[in-house]
Amino acid sequence: MHELSIALNMVDIAAETARKNGGGRVETLYMKLGMLSGVAKDALLFSWELACADTALEGSRLVIEEIPVVVRCSVCEADGKLASINKLVCPACNSSISAIVKGKELEITALEIV
Amino acid sequence: MNTPRLVQVRENVLKRNDVLARDLRRRFRAAGVFVVSLVSSPGAGKTEFLEKTLAALAQDFRVAALVGDLATDNDADRLARSGAPVKQIVTGTVCHLEAAMVENALEDWDLEKLDFLFIENVGNLVCPSSYDLGEELRLVLMSVTEGEDKPLKYPTIFNTADVAVITKTDIAEAVEFDLAKASDSIQSVRPGMMIFEVSAKKDAGMSDWIDWLREKVSASKAEEIFENETAASAA
């Protein structure tokens, strides 16, 4: 389980961003979490309070937007959303894929500061 | 009371690691050292595979290894038998290696004196997937005792790896391992992935892997020379 260390990274980034943007208390942190990021949503939420303890983020809320995996088909060239992350083929025509377009995100998108 | 304000960020959570890994990759390339990392679950046979790989390459190349474990120097001791310089990274409670640990471990090593550097990650099929170590090639190993659907259970790590190695093939029959099924699982989560089947202990399939690696390295060196010459002639 590496979600706690991920959460600690996020707390650092958020605290620094808040400081650079005129200070204040971070109330909410919004993030995008891809289904192929290797980070589990529940474990990250579970780690959040612990990671924030005794920091500028204490008492903040973590809002996670889960991003499904989107692949590009090598044959029909369409982008399609996958129902499951362990079958990487075009969901429309079952052909091989040429790229993973979305689903690896692990990024902070916004902070709500008061 | 202040009104809440929204600050747009768009920052990768692992940016610090990614930046460090990029720096490492640049350093490795500049020094001409080809870096291969190994990930697998505990007990898949990373150390045995690496020991034999080091021994085979040591005949013609300058090789070295870093090996990560939660505790003990046992793996480093085993690998040192190959005669290659080996350093253990004891992570304590951390379940994966990060770029900073690799950087620290390399502090007193002269990269210019190496052709190959292998980095054996902590035995874990989950956490290492998120951390770029600056490697050129990431190997994921699975042994025949683990079940053919292992890749389907851990798609992310297979997806971040470049090459799959199926280990302990000498006991495949005894454990009724279905190679075709395992290959299908791998292709399902990482289409087009290169797969090697080896028994490091019985020295089966190892030469295929070593030959492929040698070829890969000479191709990447040729590409570098070409890029350098192109850059030079453009300047």
pLDDT tier at B222 (50, 70, 90 boundaries)?
A: confident
Which pLDDT tens digit goes with each residue over B74-105? 888 888 888 899 999 988 888 899 999 999 99
Taking alpha carbons only, the member of B34, B121, B89, B126 closest to residue A5 is B126
Q: For residue A27, is pLDDT > 90? A: yes
Q: For residue B30, is pLDDT > 70? A: yes
Q: For residue B226, is pLDDT > 80? A: no
Work out the average pLDDT over B177-201. Answer: 96
Q: Are B122 and B68 in contact (CB under 8 A)?
A: yes
- Answer whether A59 touches B (CB < 8 Å): no
Interface test with A, best of B156, B184, B188 (most A CBs within 10 A): B156
- Interchain CB distance below 8 Å, B7 and A17: yes
Q: Which residues of A77-87 are buried (b: 16+ CB within 10 A; e: fewer)?
A: eebbebeebbe
Question: ipTM, 2 decimals?
Answer: 0.85
More confident residue, B187 or B3: B187
Interface test with B, best of A84, A88, A100 (most B CBs within 10 A): A88
Q: How far apart are the first and last CA of chain B?
A: 60
Residues of B whose CB is below 8 A from A34 = none
Helix (H) and strand (E) counts for chain B? 8, 8
Residues of A whose CB is below 8 A from B159 = 36, 88, 100
Give B 60-89 residues with CB within 8 A of chain A: none
Q: How many CB pairs under 8 A join A and B?
A: 102
Please tell me the distance in Å from A28's CA to the nearest CA on chain B.
Answer: 9
Which pLDDT tens digit goes with each residue over A73-106? 999 989 999 988 988 999 999 888 999 999 999 9
Please tell me the distance in Å from A59's CA to the nearest CA on chain B.
Answer: 15
Q: For residue A32, is pLDDT > 70? A: yes
More confident residue, B162 or B232: B162
Q: For residue A111, is pLDDT > 60? A: yes
Q: How far apart are CA B231 and CA B176, in angstroms?
A: 54
